[in-house]
Amino acid sequence: MEEYVEEICIVEDKEIAIDEIMRVYGQDVLHLVYSYVKDPSIAEDLTQEIFVKCYKNLHTYKRNSKLKTWVWRIAINHCKDYLKSWYKRKVIPAEEQINIVSSNEDVEEFLIQQEADGELVDAVMGLPLKYREVIYLFYFEEMPMKEISGVTGQKINTVKTRLRKAKEQLRAKLGGEL
């Protein structure tokens, strides 16, 4: 799939290429952005801005790295820029999310799982950004250390250290459950 998307980037029609990039990576980028901003509506807005940047800069993709790494680098930089911005520091977003239980699920089981998931998400989101990003990329995006190093711009040993420290902090927050 990744090879197909990279091949389509060679095509002269940028619209076709960006449609494929959004189709393949859209949901993953949204999750990545959410891990930074912790707000669904802001994450959606930033994700749209990220794909606009990808569209405008598609000609700069030189195939020196995977397309996914290129998109992630743009997304991470955009998130970091947002977090440093005046708007983020001055405007407090609302954090409401409605969870719907399907009729096929056992409500009690759903609530227990939701509570456990919520504790894990809260613990991960409570980590400092430098730890949160490596946890997200390693566990949720299943990126290898080398790729995380390329995406974050950190040395591989720094990534390993941050991942270890993040796990330690999560273990302490969750009472040894990890």
The domain ranges of the chain are: 1-92, 99-178
CATH class (in words) of the domain with range 1-92: mainly alpha
Instruction: Quote the crossing angle between the two packed helices 67-84 and 40-56, to the nearest 10°.
Output: 130
> What type of residue sits at position 76?
I
Question: Residue 152: is its pLDDT beyond 80?
Answer: yes
Question: Residue 89: is its pLDDT beyond 70?
Answer: no
State how far the Cα of 27 lies from the Cα of 8, in Å rounded to an integer.
19
What's the pTM? 0.57
Average pLDDT of the residues in 131-158: 88
Question: Residue 9: is its pLDDT beyond 90?
Answer: no
Question: Residue 48: is its pLDDT beyond 60?
Answer: yes
Alpha-carbon torsion 8, 11, 12, 13, what sign? negative
**Coil/strand/helix, residue 163:** helix
Average pLDDT, the chain: 78
Average pLDDT of the residues in 58-87: 84
The proportion of the chain whose per-residue pLDDT surpasses 70, expressed as a percent, equals 73
Structure tokens at 71: 């998109």
State how far the Cα of 175 lies from the Cα of 26, in Å rounded to an integer.
34
Per-residue model confidence (pLDDT) at position 160 = 94
Contacts of 29 by beta carbon, 8 Å cutoff, 6+ apart: 47, 50, 51, 71, 72, 75
Tell me the chain's radius of gyration from C-alpha atoms.
Answer: 18
Structure tokens at 155: 């040395």
Task: Please give the CATH topology (third level) of the domain spanning 99-178.
Answer: Arc Repressor Mutant, subunit A (1.10.10)
State how far the Cα of 14 lies from the Cα of 110, in Å rounded to an integer.
43
State how far the Cα of 98 lies from the Cα of 130, in Å rounded to an integer.
29
State how far the Cα of 77 lies from the Cα of 46, in Å rounded to an integer.
11
Common-topology check for domains 1-92 and 99-178:
no
